[in-house]
Structure 1
């Protein structure tokens, strides 16, 4: 019984884990009763109705009464769009948190509009951006062709706002009325220029200092150097974008896109110094098999943590939070010490390994060497050597004095 019971229990455990997922109930569906009507409220039959939501869509054709039944997930946000040979809807109708019921979708008869853009002095302008909008919604957008024209097709008939923008010209708005199947609107635009001031700073710092002498290249307009206040002002076309490149010796070159509007403005561009590493040893001579402390700093003279130190190309340590590390010197002679981090390598510095015997010999020679005596010292030594038992006595004088005393003593004994 036991050998049969264990697999049965395991099967129940597996089913208890898998069952909730495998047997999950499908999402509840609701039915939308959609009626498509024109601007007069008349039903539009035979139109293709497409309902789409996150993860799915459904397509139905409206009956003669303009209705179609569409099943959608309950609570979903459903977008309803209509396609028809005669009618169109500019923007899909959205049903939020669908819960079934009746929905009316209005459509309008199709039309098309052409916008022709020309310079105020005359002449068609290609490459202008034309936007048609209605009730805050963008209905059509594009650029003019070589003849200065842009055509918006299959849009609702009605009133539109047309906006035209072209680099070097002021943005211009016009109204457009599309009452029939076709309309055309000509828009004349005016050239314009503004003053753009470019400032360059070192944005490594919390309060970035200005950088004079930086080179600013503004698209095809040319390049200019910043003055003492770190800025340079030039005249540029309105409503234009420029690729601006900033460079300065000792700094990384940066490029960014700058958009200029229709008023004077200042753009501040930040650059930073070219990354470098510097190794600073506590000593440049080290006894073999001893260590020396080095510190690594960056281009801003700030300490660098987690930099890898190499001695003659071999990794020997990593700097701590203060940018310091002790590295070993294992042999005599000169050794190249470098630091690496994030693809940046320092210039090598030389640390010399000194053998202990050589160091001891040097120390001994230095300790026993005596300086040459001066003339006064020689005279002093001579005086000291000639001194006897007392001040002013030489060795000869002392001997004569001793003989004299001996003789005097002998005389007294005889008497």
Structure 2
């Protein structure tokens, strides 16, 4: 039965004929309940006396030994979640028995005969295999998950005797599964077989519609470097049950990486990549000061780059519109450089800027004499020297006739 124990310590102080009562400490202990646990074997029979049983909960534990009836009394906190485990050479539980929200109650705790297993893994040449993962399980209950050592062996320690599933895995080998019976000190031997399957790699640029197959290099560490054909595919034999890291490269394209898990059947992996980020600028390379210059900005796929900022001399002078177009107006002569930045990539373009009265590589002509009052209009418009005269209008016309140079810079 549970009980509440309350301890109160009092200090009585006599002061000037008066009595003062001062509480020094008050300690309350949580209510306790008793769980009566009967330990039974695989046939449902009580195990008898002398079997060690331990109950644990958050913040505490208690250990007792069974009586001849196979029963043990466990004094635990009321409402606690309690795990009951058997600590005995003859009997064992793989997973502790759990009592939730403990109260005064009776429970039956099944146990099994204790057993051990030693499992040795070999290849088809009868050589022991190091690093093989060995699973011994029953349903979702895994009692062993170990890797074999240099001798190809794992040991389970004490587990319940009975039937189990045994699984063995290792990269490069086929996985094996079998049913086994564990009793006493079991010794098991298993053989695993190496194997290969075909790994096919397909590389494409799926930004395009339809996707474009790419001529690419596919590097697989520990395997080699492969080259795709016109269909964008390549393939090779690889070990089963193995992870492979692929590195794909192609001219003008971003490097792509992929990790692929190859099982026990032929595997195809599709790798997508995209062109290296670019800004391409279409603009004339000569202009006259204060005259607008149109720039057409496109990306690596020829699509308009919208919202890109254009700067010159560190100052923003424009932003591309929805068609990827921006117009800038040079405000000084000479070589003027513009930088286009879309947030990911930058590109520069340089324009040669002239004053209205000059041409690249041509001296500025001498000024015409002022015409007399009797001179004819035709004579007044003629300059001295050989050839036609130069005026701002003729210069503008001449520059406008220059070929517009379009270039792309990646």
Q: What's the TM-score, normalizing by structure 1?
A: 0.67
From 183, 193, 197, the counterpart of 1:194: 197
Matches within 5 A, 1:170-185: 170-180=174-184, 182-185=185-188
| Alpha-carbon RMSD | 3.4
Paired residues of 1:295 and 1:325 also in contact (CA < 8 A): yes
Question: Cα deviations across residues 70-111 of structure 1 (Å, max 9, x unaligned)?
Answer: 4457xxxx6846363545433455678x69685655443443
2:265 maps to: 263
Give the number of the structure whose alpha-carbon radius of gyration is greater.
1
**Mind listing any 5+ residue stretches in structure 1 that lack a counterpart?**
1-28, 52-56, 369-415
Equivalent-residue separation in structure 2 for 1:71 and 1:320 (angstroms) = 73
Q: Which residue of 2 aligns with 1:136?
A: 140
For 1:263-313, what per-residue CA distance to the aligned partner results, in whole angstroms no more than 9, with x for missing partners?
1121111222112222233x4444434544433322222223343323245
Residues 317-396 of structure 1: matches in 2 within 5 Å?
317-346=318-347, 348-356=348-356, 358=358, 361-364=391-394
Structure 2 gaps, min length 5: 1-30, 360-389, 399-410
Report the Cα distance in structure 1 between the residues aligned to 2:396 and 2:36, rounded to whole angstroms: 107
| Local SS of the residue matching 1:329 | coil
Higher helix fraction (1 or 2): 1
Change (3 A) 1:67 1:323: farther
Return the alpha-carbon distance in structure 2 between the equivalents of residues 108 and 206 of structure 1: 65
Q: State the partner residue of 1:126.
A: 130
Q: Secondary structure at the match of 2:213?
A: coil
Specify the SS of the correspondent of 2:230. Answer: coil
Equivalent in the alignment of 1:232: 234
Contact 2:34 2:73 in 1 (8 A): no
Q: Indicate whether 1:49 and 2:55 are aligned.
A: yes
Equivalent positions of 1:142-181 (< 5 A) are: 142-180=146-184
Match of 2:247 among 232, 240, 245: 245
The count of corresponding residues between Structure 1 and Structure 2 is: 326
Q: Which secondary structure does the structure 2 equivalent of 1:251 belong to?
A: coil
Deviation at 1:361, TM superposition (A): 3.8
Per the TM alignment, residue 351 of structure 1 is displaced from its structure 2 partner at its CA by 2.2
Please give the alpha-carbon distance, in whole angstroms, between the structure 2 residues aligned to 1:293 and 1:101.
Answer: 89
> 1:366 and 1:154, CA in 2 relative to 1: closer, same or farther beyond 3 A?
closer
CA 1:88–1:321: 2 relative to 1, 3 Å: farther
How far apart are the structure 2 equivalents of 1:205 and 1:357? 49
Equivalent in the alignment of 2:311: 310
Aligned residues of 1:174 and 1:187 also touching (Cα < 8 A): no
1:167 alignment partner, SS class: coil
Aligned to 2:120: 116
Q: Which runs of structure 1 show a deviation greater than 6 angstroms over 4 or more consecutive aligned residues?
A: 29-32
Q: Does the Cα contact within 8 Å between 1:33 and 1:70 map onto a contact in 2? A: no
* TM-score of the aligned structures, taking structure 2 as reference length: 0.68
Distance 2:139 2:308 in 1: 60
